[in-house]
Amino acid sequence: MLSIKKFAAIDIGSNAVRLLISTITEPDNKPVNFKKTSLVRVPIRLGQDVFTQSYISDESTERMVDTMKAFSLLMKSHKIEAYRACATSAMRDARNGQAVAEKIATDCNIDIDIIDGTDEAAIIAATDLHSLVDNNKTYLYVDVGGGSTEFTLFSNGKTIDSKSFKLGTVRILNNTISEDVWTEAEHWVKSVTKAFSRIEMVGSGGNINNIFKSSNKKTGKPLSFFYLSSYYQLLNSLTYEERISELSLNEDRADVIIPATKIYLSAMNWSRSRSVHVPKIGLVDGIIKSLYQNSKVGD
């Protein structure tokens, strides 16, 4: 008998807030299928407030409440079985992050988990990443967000080490990152990868997804260091307005894509990677996976 379940994941990031609704079907004697039924993204950019003023402004709080009310209605309309909402770097660092979470719980009936970088990396690792990579190879997984970047080293199908750094695109735009953070990230990546002779990179995040789409590469084919470097030069040669008009980038993407590309290129240099795979997975996918696994425990 065919089993159909619906789950929802909310990712409250430093640049944008996302709602993913997935339909999971379990056919008899066939693999489970995860289908993205709906994906909504709202560019609130909480990090703009937090990384410069250490708190979430009244305006951003109001936008958050409106967005969460809309998300709540969408989840109700889709008749989801369960959801999880996770907030990352911006709400984690905000002095009033917990207060905003409590307001959303009261006004929108959505409970928010404010997670740390380790939890974030673990949730992402719960995705289909292992099925997308070769268990005989070594990969540096790099997830670039607005407030932080998570690095995870996989080798022979196992997690070797993982670490989160406050190296995010919105932080860079607001000049709130010291050179020490770059140095610490570089030292860590070089240290954990030095024992491996050949490393490939896996990139996740909206910016690398956008770059991959613009490359017209076939799904499953990696981007080369040369291509990413050339695209970085192109981005820097254009004005903010030209990036929107000529590259068809969204307003909230046209600025953060430059520091994001810099982080990916830096990680490739530090790890000696010459290619980056872009499987289009992220925090919301990991949340959906964990919700499904939890539902199986209860069956």
**Do 102 and 240 belong together in one domain?**
no
The CA radius of gyration of the chain, in Å to the nearest whole number, is 19
Which long-range contacts does 251-256 make (Cβ < 8 Å, 24+ apart)?
251/43, 252/15, 252/16, 252/43, 252/45, 253/206, 253/207, 253/210, 255/173, 256/15, 256/146, 256/169, 256/170, 256/173, 256/207
Q: Is the pLDDT of residue 2 over 70?
A: yes
| Residue 157 backbone class (left: φ over 0; alpha: ψ -120 to 50; beta: rest) | left
**Do 110 and 189 belong together in one domain?**
no
277, part of any domain: yes
**Do 25 and 71 belong together in one domain?**
yes
pLDDT in tens, 99-111: 999 999 999 999 9
Give the model's pLDDT for residue 31. Answer: 85
**Do 206 and 289 belong together in one domain?**
no
Give the model's pLDDT for residue 118. Answer: 80
What's the whole-number average pLDDT of the chain?
Answer: 93
Mean pLDDT of 69-96: 96
123, part of any domain: no
Cα(183)–Cα(292) distance, integer angstroms: 39
Q: Is the pLDDT of residue 298 over 60?
A: no
**Do 53 and 167 belong together in one domain?**
no
Give the model's pLDDT for residue 299. Answer: 60
124, part of any domain: no
**Do 154 and 55 belong together in one domain?**
no
**Do 38 and 64 belong together in one domain?**
yes
234, part of any domain: yes
**Helix spans in the chain (H):** 46-53, 58-78, 89-93, 97-108, 117-125, 129-132, 169-173, 179-193, 206-215, 225-237, 240-247, 257-271, 283-298
Q: What is the CATH number of the domain that holds 94?
A: 3.30.420.40
The residues, ordered by sequence, that sit 6+ positions from 99 with a Cβ below 8 Å of its Cβ are none
126, part of any domain: no
Q: What is the CATH number of the domain that holds 250?
A: 3.30.420.150
Query: Sheet holding 17-26: strands in order across?
Result: 33-42, 17-26, 3-12, 82-87, 112-114
User: For residue 113, which of 101, 129, 121, 95 has the smallest C-alpha distance?
Assistant: 101
**Do 103 and 153 belong together in one domain?**
no
**Do 273 and 137 belong together in one domain?**
yes
190, part of any domain: yes
35, part of any domain: yes
Cα(240)–Cα(225) distance, integer angstroms: 24
**Do 15 and 31 belong together in one domain?**
yes
* Domains contained in the chain, number: 2
Name the percent of the chain lying above pLDDT 70. Answer: 96
Look at the alpha carbons of 151, 154, 155, 161 in this order and tell me if their dihedral is positive or negative: positive
pTM value?
A: 0.90
Give the model's pLDDT for residue 295. Answer: 87
Q: Is the pLDDT of residue 131 over 70?
A: no
User: For residue 283, which of 166, 145, 171, 164 has the smallest C-alpha distance?
Assistant: 145
87, part of any domain: yes
Lowest-confidence range among 115-119, 131-135, 183-187? 131-135
Q: What angle do CA 37, 154, 140 make, to 5 degrees?
A: 80
**Do 162 and 249 belong together in one domain?**
yes
Mean pLDDT of 33-59: 95
Q: Is the pLDDT of residue 1 over 80?
A: no
pLDDT in tens, 268-283: 999 999 999 998 888 8
pLDDT in tens, 207-252: 999 999 999 999 889 999 999 999 999 999 999 999 999 999 999 9
**Do 107 and 140 belong together in one domain?**
no
Instruction: Determine the structural domain holding residue 161 and report its residue range.
Output: 132-281
pLDDT in tens, 164-215: 999 999 999 999 999 999 999 999 999 999 999 999 999 999 999 999 999 9
